[in-house]
Amino acid sequence: MKQTIGIRFSAHGQMLACLYEYDEEQSAPLAVGSRAMAMTDRGLCCGRVVWQRPWQEDMEQALREANAALRLSSRLGAQESEEAGPEPHETEELPAARPATPEEEAADDENLRLASEARVFCQERISTRELDMKLVDVETLFDRSKMIFFFTAPTRIDFRELVKDLVRQYRMRIELRQIGVRHETQMLGALGNCGMVCCCRRYLRKFAPVTIKMAKEQNLFLNPTKISGICGRLLCCLSYEQENYDAFHRSCPRLGKTYQTTEGPMRVLRGNMFRNAVVVLPTGGQERELTLDEWQVLKPTRAETPGPAVNREAKPKPAPLMVISATPETLDEDLAALDGAVEPDTEPENGPENKPAEVPASQADPEAQPSEQRPESSHRRRGRQIKA
């Protein structure tokens, strides 16, 4: 018999679909909550079964694609996955799973205890060294070949001394992996504005680019508290219906433009995707709502005038997130290679996309700014010069 199961290998990890083959006479199917062993990209791992169902051939292809998207997201997790690239075309077979033995369960419990202790120790060292970073999670591989520390940081920091502390304490390969705020929310989970668990925690395996232009095309109020998620970035759900909005805007006239029709000049004020209609304002008349079919009957035309040339500057790319790995045997060589990689960087973590709307500087209160950022008045400068 065959059984399809979903295994989660860490408390904040994603689910991996696996295939379990068993003999009804000698063994029983795995139940939810039991532990199972499966081969992953990190080697043999022990996890807990979070769901199970009888094997179905029509569901296998969908589960393969979900596993492939999960592997792609894990490889690009340190790059915030806004530029996650194309979906993989080739999908591998579902990994085979088997029940964990009592010895393997005991080893998994010991790894969980070690990861919990390492998190407390790392947090203490971060506070002692006053590093501007936030520890998110710690994972220990089943064979204890490597310990992974996930963290977030607003800028690039120098944590070579922290790496030394961790390597000397645990005498194994240490990897510090910087993740973005969206992946932090995906790992920890949170409640969204809709009252449900965040989509990235429930089912999203890959982050799609979200821009402020999507919120404008969907006629949403550009209030950062309304269109931003728990992570502080634009809501991922803004991209769910964007394809329908794009199709509607391709078929409707341009908003704010004046067209010459059989009934005279008309200005297009706004569009309604749900009613498949536009609101127009005739010259000297009142607003009218017309469907796109009724609009085409009026034979609208508009004189195309070339607009001014726009000099578009290349947007600076955000600094890549850091992934540092060091072993006790090659600690000095690994840290020497970080000389140019851990220099403090003032580049923001957020890229040009996925940023919430910001209040213009002209509307900001100058008195609310820190004193060291306000320009010094001329009479105060002159007073200092005279006093000197």
- Counting every residue written for the chain, the total comes to 388
Least confident of 49-53, 160-164, 267-271: 49-53
Closest CA to 348 of 74, 77, 80: 80
For all residues of the chain together, what is the average pLDDT? 76
pLDDT for res 91: 53
- 325 vs 114, residue with greater confidence: 114
Q: What is the DSSP letter of 96?
A: B
From residue 329, give the alpha-carbon distance in Å to each of 42, 167, 173, 377. Answer: 21, 10, 9, 58
Q: pLDDT tens, 21-55?
A: 777 766 777 888 888 888 887 888 888 888 888 77
For 247-273, b/e burial (b = at least 16 CB within 10 A) is ebeeebbeeeebbebeeeebbbeebeb
pLDDT for res 308: 62
- 150 vs 309, residue with greater confidence: 150
pLDDT for res 343: 53
From residue 91, give the alpha-carbon distance in Å to each of 60, 64, 72, 325. Answer: 11, 6, 11, 29
Q: pLDDT tens, 186-243?
A: 888 888 888 888 888 887 777 888 889 888 888 888 888 888 888 888 998 899 888 8
| Residues 25, 17 contacting (CB under 8 angstroms) | no
Structure token pair of residue 34: 């039991």
Domain ranges for the chain: 2-100, 183-243, 254-297
Residue type, 279: V
What ranges make up the beta strands (E) of the chain? 2-8, 15-21, 35-40, 43-54, 97-99, 134-140, 146-152, 173-178, 258-261, 264-272, 277-282, 288-291, 323-326
pLDDT for res 121: 93
Q: pLDDT tens, 308-322?
A: 665 666 666 666 777
- 383 vs 114, residue with greater confidence: 114
Least confident of 3-12, 229-238, 335-344: 335-344
Least confident of 9-13, 117-121, 178-182: 9-13
Distance of alpha carbon 208 from alpha carbon 328, whole angstroms = 39
| Residues 14, 137 contacting (CB under 8 angstroms) | no
Q: What is the percent of the chain with per-residue pLDDT over 90, rounded to a whole number?
A: 6
| Residues 342, 159 contacting (CB under 8 angstroms) | yes
